[in-house]
């Protein structure tokens, strides 16, 4: 028997203009009529919650009831086929069809439906109770070609329903209370689990379960008596040997061991998560004890935040000191080069490393680095030439000007002298020195 909703016969049937109409004897929704003595208590209470009306509001319906009760029983309505519809299903015998939920309703009252002898093709079906007394009627549905042609065997339909119900019952039996964390929140929810011992035929794993899922990875849960707790996930293609390998250390794990582990971590100032606290709560711990764990967890986070901040500050200080010590070497080279320039001495274009931080540095040449310090805007092409070709700058005594030399493996630069003159002038300006040492 399929399910039905009695109230929806009067409030949710868009196919008919249904409403509650009843008097002292009958109740109707304009598509079926039933004696109120046959209704269940809650159904009768629902009907009596509406004002009574004269059941003869529809003369045709009233005539059917009057004449039907005088007719004799012909054929019991036993569905042969069923049409599965979007809004409702229609059960069919021969050319006669009615809504499946109406049939379920009538059968739930321990009544039967009969097709009555009549010259009319679409005669109403009569309802008789288990005392063979006439108690009402149901109007049939005029079947269209689609409903008739797309119907299926009713016996097979019932068999499919039974199989589906058995599958649901089996799934219900496999539902286990599970404890796990999702999105950093603890969750207690029923999940369909399968015992791993049955999968791998090894009873050593009888306390371990795997969830039924379509995802690539499946969660593994351990039965601790009061709840099944998530311990890890396993890929869907894991072999029996893989499962045994990954889970061999958990087969003897118990609730007492889990609780002892949590308290040991607390006593040793170690981390406990929200799942641990929920497990303690489910084990029957007092509210005060649970709150104590919640407070401890917050204290642990606060303490760790301070420790992390201290370590971060200490590390930052060490990084600054490291960077400063490395850049101090470069600063000394820069200072020496500046003194050499104002004293008309040679400056070798050494390769240096400039540190932006401990983990970020830049390899360049001394002269290019100094030009950038003095904000000399050197084109990228010329910067590359300075790094790769420039060997030194020096004061040419005979020419009485600053000059430079470059590696013979490279060609001379046509523009470097311009930037060299600007650079030397800025160095001299910094130290208040002005001598005729700039190249012309």
Give the count of beta carbons closer than 10 Å to the beta carbon of residue 136.
26
> Who has greater pLDDT, 143 or 423?
423
Banded pLDDT at 64 (limits 50, 70, 90):
low
Q: pLDDT tens across 153-211, in order?
A: 999 998 988 888 887 777 777 789 999 999 989 999 999 899 999 989 999 999 999 99
Residues 393, 347: contact at Cβ < 8 Å? yes
pTM of the model: 0.52
Q: Torsions phi, psi of 76, nearest 5?
A: -70, 135
Query: Alpha-carbon distance 53 to 150, whole Å?
Result: 40
Q: pLDDT tens across 328-347, in order?
A: 999 999 999 999 999 999 99
What mean pLDDT value characterizes the chain? 88
Query: Alpha-carbon distance 197 to 180, whole Å?
Result: 21
Which residues partner with 8 through β-bridges?
A: none
Q: pLDDT tens across 130-147, in order?
A: 998 999 999 898 887 777
Q: pLDDT tens across 250-288, in order?
A: 889 999 999 999 999 999 999 999 999 999 999 999 999
Of 110-119, 314-323, 351-360, the poorest mean pLDDT is in 110-119
Is it the case that residue 15 has pLDDT exceeding 50? no
Which residues partner with 83 through β-bridges?
A: 90
């Amino acid at each position: 028997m399929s399910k039905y909703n009695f109230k929806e016969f009067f409030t949710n049937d868009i196919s008919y203009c249904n409403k509650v109409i009843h008097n002292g004897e009958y109740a109707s929704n304009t598509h079926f009529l039933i004696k109120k003595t046959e209704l269940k208590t809650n159904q009768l209470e629902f009907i009596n919650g509406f004002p009574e009306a004269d059941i003869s509001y529809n003369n045709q319906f009233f005539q059917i009831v009057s004449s039907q009760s005088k007719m004799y029983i012909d054929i019991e309505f036993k569905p042969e086929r069923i049409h599965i519809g979007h809004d409702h299903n229609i059960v069919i015998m021969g050319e006669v069809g009615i809504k499946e939920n109406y049939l379920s309703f009538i059968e739930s009252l321990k009544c039967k439906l009969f097709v009555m002898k009549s010259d009319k093709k679409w005669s109403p079906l009569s309802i008789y109770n288990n005392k063979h007394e006439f108690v009402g009627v149901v109007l049939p549905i005029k079947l269209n070609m689609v409903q008739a042609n797309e119907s299926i065997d009713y016996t097979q339909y019932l068999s499919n329903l039974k199989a589906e119900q058995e599958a649901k019952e089996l799934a219900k039996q496999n539902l286990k209370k599970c404890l796990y964390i999702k999105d950093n929140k603890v969750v207690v929810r029923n999940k369909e689990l399968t015992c791993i011992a049955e999968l791998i035929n090894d009873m050593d794993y009888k306390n371990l379960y795997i969830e039924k899922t379509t995802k690539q990875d499946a969660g593994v849960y351990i039965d601790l008596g009061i709840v099944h707790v998530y311990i890890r996930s396993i890929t869907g293609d894991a072999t029996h040997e893989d499962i045994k390998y990954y889970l061999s250390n958990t087969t003897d794990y118990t609730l007492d061991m889990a609780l002892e582990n949590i308290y040991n971590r607390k006593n040793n100032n170690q981390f406990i998560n929200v799942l641990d606290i929920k497990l303690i709560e489910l084990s029957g711990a007092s509210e005060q004890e649970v709150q104590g764990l919640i407070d401890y967890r917050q204290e642990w986070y606060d303490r760790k935040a301070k420790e992390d901040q201290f370590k971060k500050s200490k590390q930052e200080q060490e990084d600054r000191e490291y960077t400063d010590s490395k850049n101090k070497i470069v600063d000394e080279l820069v200072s020496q080069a500046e003194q050499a320039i104002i004293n008309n001495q040679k400056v070798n274009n050494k390769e240096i490393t400039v540190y932006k931080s401990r983990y970020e540095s830049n390899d360049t040449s001394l002269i290019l680095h100094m030009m950038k310090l003095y904000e000399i805007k050197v084109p990228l092409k010329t910067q590359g030439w300075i790094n790769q070709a420039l060997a030194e700058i020096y004061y040419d005594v005979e020419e009485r000007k600053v000059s430079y030399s470059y590696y013979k493996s490279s060609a001379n630069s046509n523009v470097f002298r311009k930037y060299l003159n600007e650079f030397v002038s800025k160095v001299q300006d910094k130290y208040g020195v002005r001598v005729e040492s700039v190249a012309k």
